[in-house]
Structures are given as C-alpha cells and as structure tokens.
Structure 1
Amino acid sequence: SVNFWGSLWTTRYKSLGIIDNRHSEYNISTVEVDGNTVPDGDGLYVYVNTDDPRESSNIPRAVLMAAVQRSEARAMKNYTRADELRQNIIQSGYQVIDFQNEEILARKYRIRLRGIDAPEMLMPFGEEAKKELAKLVHGKCLRVLVYGEDQYGRCVADIYCNGIFAQEVMLKKGLAWHYVAYDQRVEFATWQKEAQAKRTGLWVQSNPEKPWEWRKKNKR
C-alpha cells in the first residue's frame, strides 16, 4: 500500500539526510503514471485524483461543470458532445482518466526532477535517459515532494516510486548529471562519482558535454 511504501522510503531517506519535508512546499500522490508520456530523462507528467483533499477545494467551477455535463452526455450516448467537453477539461489542465476500474477527474502536473540534469534528447544518452525514467515510473503511483516551480511552470520535485528514489537511479546509472548549481545534496555528488568510476551510462564517454552547456550553444 502507499502508506507501507511511504514509511519505507521516509525512514530510509530521512536517515540519509536526503529528505527534509520542512523544505518542501507540499506532497502529492499520483495515480498510475503512463511512461509513454515521459518527455525526457528529468521530467514527466503526472495526474492527481481530485478527490485528494488538497485538490478538491481548488477545482475550477468550469471544470466541474464540464465533467458533470460530459457524464450526462455519455449517459445519453451523445459522444460527440462528450468528446468536446473532455477537450475543454484537458485544456484547463485536468483530465478524465480510468483509474482502478472507474473514471476519475484528475489534475495534471508537469514535474521536473530536482537536483539532476539529464542529457537533452539530441545529446548522446538522451534517449537512454528518457527510456530509463519511463521504465521506472510506468504503471506506478508516485509520491512527489514539491519544492517550488521553475521558470517554465514545472513543479521541481523529488520522486519516489515504491520506495525507490528516482534521482538516485538516474545518477547511479549514469543517465543524469548532479545539477550542483541548484542542489548541493552530498549524496547526489557521491552517486555521480560512483557512476563515473564505473564508466556507467554517459560516463563511458571520455569528456561528456554537460547539458546546461549544450543548451547555451543550442538555444531554441
């Protein structure tokens, strides 16, 4: 259960000094993640059930009305109208999804993994990083500790999947850099050094280019 796994990862990572809930703004628990929607090695999209107390009081009235009207349209087999309303819901940052054999209204979050920087998709190991993160989260309900938003409106967060710390996996497999300019956790530096010593992942290259330097040269 979520509580069982939650106690495992909390005990483990608090003992290492990696987790400090006092510094996170809020925590969210997601519905099952679709790994096919992972865009790269340090970002993902997640959905949170609006039955969650934090979400239920913040649903826009227009979204609630659209969800009710969509349900009514489907009951009357007016699927064209139901699809129109579903698109309105999606455009508002929500989604009607199947979860545990029932339809639920869920809020969409864009997540940026805190403290790591994976290779961009056009860089060596960019595709491998994306696939690894997608494999890790696919079909799983995640625990997300949000620490704020970045300049692109993404939630900067630590991600836990059945007791597994996502950033640890990415660093140890050599599929991300420790983003030391924004995160000084000692464990992150240690995990990166372990991967470098083993020449794992991107560290098989003698002098891999840093993602933040690549972006400076390849501005969109």
Structure 2
Amino acid sequence: MFFTRCKQIAAVTQGMRAFLRALVVSFAVCVCITKPAYAWPGIVTHVSDGDTVWVQPLQGGEAHKVRLLGIDAPEICQPWGPQSRAALHAALQGQVVEVRARTRDSYGRLLAQLTHQGNDVGAWMVGQGYAWSYSYKSNAGPYEALQQQAQTQHLGLFSDGRALQPRWFRKRFGSCHTPGS
C-alpha cells in the first residue's frame, strides 16, 4: 500500500512537472506572438526619401533599411518629394534614433516607428506637412489629426492644392526608380 501510494504521488508529480513545462512554453510563445515591437537604438546613416532611412544599430551589425510606419511621404521624383527628404535628412542624418520595428514590408524594409530624443518622427513629418498620415481603405491613419492640423495651417505640401498622395502618384505615373535608395 505504501509503495502504491508513492507511485501515485510520483505520477502526479511527474504530471505536474509536464504541465508546468507546457505552461512555461505556452507563456513564452504568447509573449513572443503578442509582443508588438522590439526596440533598438541606432544611428541614421542615410535618408532615401521622406519615409525611408538606413539605421546602423549601435551594438554593431549591418545597417537596416527602415520604412517609417504610419506615414506616406511624396515620392522623391514627385513635387514635395525632395523637400520631404531634405526635412528628414536635416532632422535625422547622423542622429541616434530608437527603432521600434514591427515587421518587414514586401520590399524587405523594416516597418518601424522611429523616435528621436523622445519625439515620434512620423508625427513630426506629418505635423510639419512633409508627409500624409498613412490611411488604408476607410481606416484613418495614426496621424490623421496632425494631418488635418497641417492642412488647416497650409503647411508644407498641404499648401499646394495640387499635391498628390504617393499612392495616387504611383498609380498614375509609376514609382520612381532611384539606384541605392
């Protein structure tokens, strides 16, 4: 009877260990899946256009091509494209930023929110009139209120009644092909 009871206790203990291992693994998987972004500091080494930069991680490694999440800046070959790129270049070239990467787009670029000195770079670009808040179908973009403010104040590209959102520009004229962007 004593040995039977010990075997039962051992079986329960073994079952509890297996359950706890499964619980720990499940928790780790949930944390990895639900974690929306990972953040790392880096230096902006190149600005391709008003919504794409190259960032060299401070801890070393190759520079990453990063597309600013939530904004759509004019193509470099369309009106306001050079001004948008120049504004982003002046603000970030050689500066330390924090990259909060979400995923990669179909071009292999990291889609990320950038902050510089605690300020959201995408919000600044839209608020200054250098980019549109990226909207999809009927969903307003994350910086819609800032865009409306910039439009009301006729800032940057919003001062030009002919300014064309990049998606419509690409649909009408195709994309700009710039080597090394």
Q: Which amino acid aligns with 1:164?
A: N
Out of 88, 92, 99, the residue aligned to residue 133 of structure 1 is: 88
User: Residue 115 of structure 1: CA displacement?
Assistant: 0.8
Larger Rg: 2
Out of 37, 44, 49, the residue aligned to residue 33 of structure 1 is: 44
SS in structure 2 at match of 1:33:
strand
TM-score, normalisation: structure 2: 0.72
Cα gap change, 1:195 to 1:154, in 2 (>3 Å): same
SS in structure 1 at match of 2:168:
helix
Identity of aligned residues (%): 27
Moved over 6 A (4+): none
TM-score, normalisation: structure 1: 0.60
More RCO (CA 8 Å, sep 6+): 1
Out of 123, 133, 136, the residue aligned to residue 181 of structure 1 is: 136
Cα gap change, 1:184 to 1:156, in 2 (>3 Å): farther
How far does the alpha carbon of each residue in 1:16-53 deviate from its partner, in whole angstroms, 9 at most, with x for none?
A: xxxxxx652311111x323xx2010000001114x4xx
Take 1:145 and 1:178, find their aligned partners in 2: how far apart are those partners? 18
Answer whether contact 1:128 1:175 (CA < 8 A) is retained.
Answer: yes
Take 1:183 and 1:150, find their aligned partners in 2: how far apart are those partners? 21
Unaligned 5+ runs, structure 2? 1-33, 176-181
Matched residue, 1:192: 147
CA RMSD for the aligned pairs? 2.0
Matched residue, 2:98: 143
Matched residue, 1:111: 66
Take 1:202 and 1:23, find their aligned partners in 2: how far apart are those partners? 35
User: Residue 188 of structure 1: CA displacement?
Assistant: 0.5
Q: Which moved more, 1:150-159 or 1:209-218?
A: 209-218
Answer whether contact 1:115 1:182 (CA < 8 A) is retained.
Answer: no
Answer whether contact 2:39 2:98 (CA < 8 A) is retained.
Answer: yes
Answer whether contact 1:173 1:200 (CA < 8 A) is retained.
Answer: yes
SS in structure 2 at match of 1:139:
coil
Answer whether contact 2:37 2:101 (CA < 8 A) is retained.
Answer: yes
Take 1:214 and 1:170, find their aligned partners in 2: how far apart are those partners? 19
Cα gap change, 1:183 to 1:120, in 2 (>3 Å): farther
Matched residue, 1:89: none
Matched residue, 1:92: none
Answer whether contact 2:44 2:56 (CA < 8 A) is retained.
Answer: yes
Q: Which amino acid aligns with 2:44?
A: V
Q: How does 1:13-52 map to 2 (within 5 A)?
A: 24-30=36-42, 32-34=43-45, 37-49=46-58, 51=59
Take 2:63 and 2:137, find their aligned partners in 1: how far apart are those partners? 25
